[in-house]
Amino acid sequence: MFLLPGLLILSTLLSIPLYKVFEYSLYDNVIINPEPQFVGLDNYVEVIGDTGYWQALWNTFLFTVGSVIGHMVIGTSLAMLVNANINKRALTFFRTLLILPWIFTAVVVALNWQLLLNPFGVVNYSLEWLGFISEPLDWFGDADLAMWSLLLVSTWRGYPFIMISFLSGLQSVPKELYEAAEIDGANFLQRFWHVTLPQLKPVIYGVALLDLIWTFQLFPLVWLTTGGGPGRTTEVLSTLTYRLAFVDFEFSKASTTAVTILVISALFTILYLRNETRRK
Amino acid sequence: MSKIEIRDLVKRYDDTQVLHGINIQIASGEFTVLVGPSGCGKSTTLRMVAGLESISDGEVVIGDRVVNDLRPKERGIAMVFQNYALYPSKTVYENMAFSLRLSRVPKAEIERKVREVSAILELDPLLQRKPGELSGGQRQRVAMGRAIVRDPEVFLFDEPLSNLDAKLRTQMRVEIKTLHQRLKNTIVYVTHDQVEAMTLADRIVVMRSGIIEQQGTPDEIFHNPVNTFVAGFMGSPQMNLVESSVSGGKISIGDANHPQLTAEMQLPDGAVTFGIRPDDIELLDEQSEEANNQANKQTVKISLVEPVGTEKLFHFSLGGKPFIGKADGRMQLSEGQTVNICLDMQYGYYFDAQSGERIR
């Protein structure tokens, strides 16, 4: 009874937009056209036949998988670092410092990295000074570098969530397991492989899926750094949808790509929920 | 098998010293139990022998090597932990084979060793199970199996039976003792349970607040405690320890404001702590003539009866101090009953009232 008002508001806010997006995807150009015609699945056929859509899907796949791997590797390493048995003050300092990327909004992160990776920015200056490059690179403007730069920014922004999740997992690993492994003769890597990883496995799977779902739909970071460019080299499904809707004003096609994002995200969500149910 | 020597072992955490110069010599093949209340430093000592805690001062020698700077795996030890510390993702077989795999022992040899040990510990039907599918007792046996497979010079046990229920604990105690008789390894075993210490040990080391109070055979520790702490700690129910006074060759037990028992005793005049084990307090048969002529006889009122099967523990007050006596389990005793008791003074213990040290 107490939940009813909340449930009503939530379901209304969720179901009406969902229904409208799906409805729009079945009409010809809605909003712009005052009397749109029902066209069935024509928009889907058109979108699926468009190479730009497949390019965006492939980029989304690269961006998502690359980001999740980056988050995992950096997040796990840093979680182990801040779980180390060192001076408590230093530990608190590092934990606070390393969580900072998470508390910035995407806009701030994007602007900061744009400045850092600017051809006249600190990164280029440092690399030149160290002798790694002879002339400044246009990190976000070069088609060969743009996706890598985007992955760098996405990894920087996303690792704290993994770090915090794994840190709580690491802290629940009994200390005796490490001691037993040490007595058994396991070195650092063997202890990580035989004790840490198996103990973190349930957390890793759940957290990776959650990260996958979030990164798959990520929009502001891409839009505010590369804007999907240069050309379409970093165009992902979310930026494509935005471009179709608010640049090209093709709201029906935008709704269609949005529905495909929804379907793919829903599949990941089902996997995540299944994993959570199994864990319980 | 190796002897162990612990020389002037000190442990400090920043400014806090928790071990104050521990000296223990453990002969090869000896079963030594470190016993004491929580926080006495027994587990810290064991972990320093294992290499899991750094040594602030002093030396640990295993065999003929000073192992202070050696890593745990280089010390030739195997350890059984209180909560078993089995790798949850590995099967029983993999748990037991793990250290051998890390040492790159050939597969066939690993198989032979694991099978041999699993046969000794009756683990054969469990080899493909994971620790989560085992009972507490089975897990404990796997933990022991994992230690035995390594064929170490020294076994270290850190309160291995604490997580088991009373029945299983007794059963596992027998298994550990049988195993030691069979393998004849050097064992250092830590427990806070004095019954475990008494039943398992060749030698007991009683510790308190980071120092050794007494070490010796179980008989020595039980029958010749050096102070009130050891006397009170070893034995269940514990020894009755009562403040008393000696005057003119006579000891008066308890408080002078209450009915006391007075017996002849050649001790200097002054305050002493009198100790007597519940077993040495005899419940006299009213009808027997011998009982009526018994010296050190006293009439007391039973305040509480604890039946523990083969015997009954009865609580009473003497000289205003609480005492526990032990009677045959078949005797009919009840609260409020008045009985005659006799303290067998030849088994009485006398300790300095101030220092608690034994007066011999």
The DSSP output letter for A157 is: H
Tens digits of residue pLDDT in B74-129: 898 999 998 889 999 999 999 999 999 998 999 999 999 999 888 888 888 999 99
pLDDT at B259 (0 to 100): 64
Average pLDDT score over residue span A23-46: 83
d(CA B257, CA B276): 21
Residues 175-194 of B with CB under 8 A from A: none
A235 in a structural domain: yes
Overall domain count for chain A: 1
A24 in a structural domain: no
Contact (Cβ atoms closer than 8 angstroms) between residue A215 and residue A67: yes
d(CA A122, CA A110): 15
Residues of A in contact with B98 (CB under 8 A): 181, 184, 186, 194
The architecture (CATH level 2) of B240-352 comes to Beta Barrel (2.40)
Interface test with B, best of A183, A188, A196 (most B CBs within 10 A): A183
Token pair recorded at residue B248: 């003119």
In chain B, ranges of CATH 2.40.50.140 domains:
240-352
Integer-rounded Cα Rg, in Å, for chain A is 23
pLDDT at B150 (0 to 100): 86
Token pair recorded at residue B69: 């700077």
* Residue B134, pLDDT above cutoff 80: yes
At residue A257 the predicted structure's pLDDT band, cuts being 50, 70 and 90, is very high
Contact (Cβ atoms closer than 8 angstroms) between residue A113 and residue A221: no
* Residue B287, pLDDT above cutoff 70: no
Residues in chain A: 280
Report the amino acid identity of residue A51: T
Q: CB contact, 8 Å: A163 with chain B?
A: no
* Residue B306, pLDDT above cutoff 60: yes
Cβ separation A199–B88 shorter than 8 A: yes
* Residue A207, pLDDT above cutoff 60: yes
Residues 6+ apart with CB under 8 A from B126: B92, B118, B134, B138, B142
Find, among A97, A72, A70, A99, the residue nearest to A164 by Cα. Answer: A99
Kindly identify which residue of chain A lies nearest to residue B104, measuring between CA atoms.
A185
Nearest to A185 among B81, B87, B103 (CB): B103
d(CA B193, CA A140): 69
Report the amino acid identity of residue A229: G
* Residue A173, pLDDT above cutoff 70: yes
Cβ separation B73–A176 shorter than 8 A: no
Q: Long-range contacts: B66-74, Cβ < 8 Å, 24+?
A: B71/A182, B72/A179, B72/A182, B72/A183, B73/A182, B73/A183, B73/A184, B73/A185
CATH number of the domain where residue A149 is located = 1.10.3720.10
Average pLDDT score over residue span B40-61: 93
Residues 48-77 of B with CB under 8 A from A: 50-52, 71-73, 77
Q: What is the 3-state secondary structure (H, E, C) of chain B?
A: CCCEEEEEEEEEECCEEEEEEEEEEECCCCEEEEECCCCCCHHHHHHHHHCCCCCCEEEEEECCEECCCCCHHHCCEEEECCCCCCCCCCCHHHHHHHHHHHCCCCHHHHHHHHHHHHHHCCCHHHCCCCHHHCCHHHHHHHHHHHHHHCCCCEEEEECCCCCCCHHHHHHHHHHHHHHHHHHCCEEEEEECCHHHHHHHCCEEEEEECCEEEEEECHHHHHHCCCEHHHHHHCCCCCCEEEEEEEECCEEEECCCCCCCEEEECCCCCEEEEEEECHHHEEECCCCCHHHHHCCCEEEEEEEEEEECCCEEEEEEEECCEEEEEEEECCCCCCCCCEEEEEECHHHCEEEECCCCEECC
* Residue B168, pLDDT above cutoff 70: yes
Burial of A179: CB neighbours in 10 Å, binned 0-12, 13-18, 19+: buried
In chain B, ranges of CATH 3.40.50.300 domains:
4-233
pLDDT at B298 (0 to 100): 81
Percent of chain A with pLDDT over 90: 26
Q: A76-85, A236-245, A252-261, B197-206: lowest mean pLDDT where? A: A76-85
Q: CB contact, 8 Å: B85 with chain A?
A: yes
Q: CB contact, 8 Å: B309 with chain A?
A: no
At residue A47 the predicted structure's pLDDT band, cuts being 50, 70 and 90, is confident
Percent of chain B with pLDDT over 90: 53
How is the beta sheet containing B65-66 ordered, strand by strand?
Answer: B16-26, B4-13, B57-62, B65-66
Burial of A14: CB neighbours in 10 Å, binned 0-12, 13-18, 19+: exposed
Contact (Cβ atoms closer than 8 angstroms) between residue B33 and residue B182: no
At residue A200 the predicted structure's pLDDT band, cuts being 50, 70 and 90, is confident
Between helix A88-103 and helix A51-82 the angle, nearest 10°, is: 160
CA of A177 to nearest chain B CA: how many angstroms apart?
Answer: 5
Residues 6+ apart with CB under 8 A from A28: A36, A37, A39, A42, A43, A252
* Residue B59, pLDDT above cutoff 90: yes
A240 in a structural domain: yes
Mean pLDDT for chain A overall? 88
d(CA B20, CA B26): 19
Token pair recorded at residue A256: 């269609």
Cβ separation A194–B98 shorter than 8 A: yes
CA of B142 to nearest chain A CA: how many angstroms apart?
Answer: 13
d(CA B12, CA A71): 40
A43 in a structural domain: no
Domain residues for A214?
59-279
Contact (Cβ atoms closer than 8 angstroms) between residue A186 and residue B90: no
pTM over 0.90: no
Host H or E run for residue A273: helix A251-279
Tens digits of residue pLDDT in A213-229: 889 888 888 898 888 87
At residue B291 the predicted structure's pLDDT band, cuts being 50, 70 and 90, is low
At residue B236 the predicted structure's pLDDT band, cuts being 50, 70 and 90, is confident
Checking ipTM against 0.85, whether it exceeds it is no
Residues of B in contact with A200 (CB under 8 A): none
Residues of A in contact with B99 (CB under 8 A): 183-185
Tens digits of residue pLDDT in A74-127: 999 998 888 887 778 888 888 888 888 888 888 899 999 989 988 888 998 999
* Residue B292, pLDDT above cutoff 70: no
The architecture (CATH level 2) of B4-233 comes to 3-Layer(aba) Sandwich (3.40)
Farthest CA pair distance, chain A: 76
pLDDT at B288 (0 to 100): 60
Nearest to B78 among A174, A179, A183 (CB): A183
Residue A76, CA distances (Å) to A69, A79, A168, A177 in order: 10, 5, 11, 19
Residues of A in contact with B91 (CB under 8 A): none
Residues 6+ apart with CB under 8 A from A68: A208, A211, A212, A215
Between helix A251-279 and helix A4-24 the angle, nearest 10°, is: 130
